[in-house]
Amino acid sequence: AQSVAQPEDQVNVAEGNPLTVKCTYSVSGNPYLFWYVQYPNRGLQFLLKYITGDNLVKGSYGFEAEFNKSQTSFHLKKPSALVSDSALYFCAVRDIINDYKLSFGAGTTVTVRA
């Protein structure tokens, strides 16, 4: 079965510092990988995805992610974090058997301090 793991429950960074949120995946075949963000009391918002092509994917709000096949990772990054980036971040992978099904990681809470 396809799955993603987010090894960190929480990430704390100072504003202006680089932000990294880690995600590793387990998929048989080519993975479709996604990052979503959830602000308090809101629905999830799509940030970026990797389907094929360039390993470095750029997304919304200055976020990017690097697909690394050898390390089976898809880490989310932002060069300079903002206080407004404080939120819950989810990594997700498409299911191989049922194309429409996404399996989500447990989420990583990011806190950016001023």
Partner 1 sequence: DTAVSQTPKYLVTQMGNDKSIKCEQNLGHDTMYWYKQDSKKFLKIMFSYNNKELIINETVPNRFSPKSPDKAHLNLHINSLELGDSAVYFCASSQATSQYEQYFGPGTRLTVT
Binding status of residue 89 toward partner 1 by CB under 8 A: no
Which of 1/114 has CB closer to partner 1? 1
Determine contact, residues 103/4, Cβ cutoff 8 Å: yes
Binding status of residue 84 toward partner 1 by CB under 8 A: no
Q: Residues 26 to 45: which contact partner 1 by CB under 8 A? A: 32, 34, 36, 38, 41-45
Q: Residues 45 to 74: which contact partner 1 by CB under 8 A? A: 45-46, 49, 51
Sorted by sequence, the CB contacts under 8 Å of residue 101 that are 6+ apart come out as 94, 95
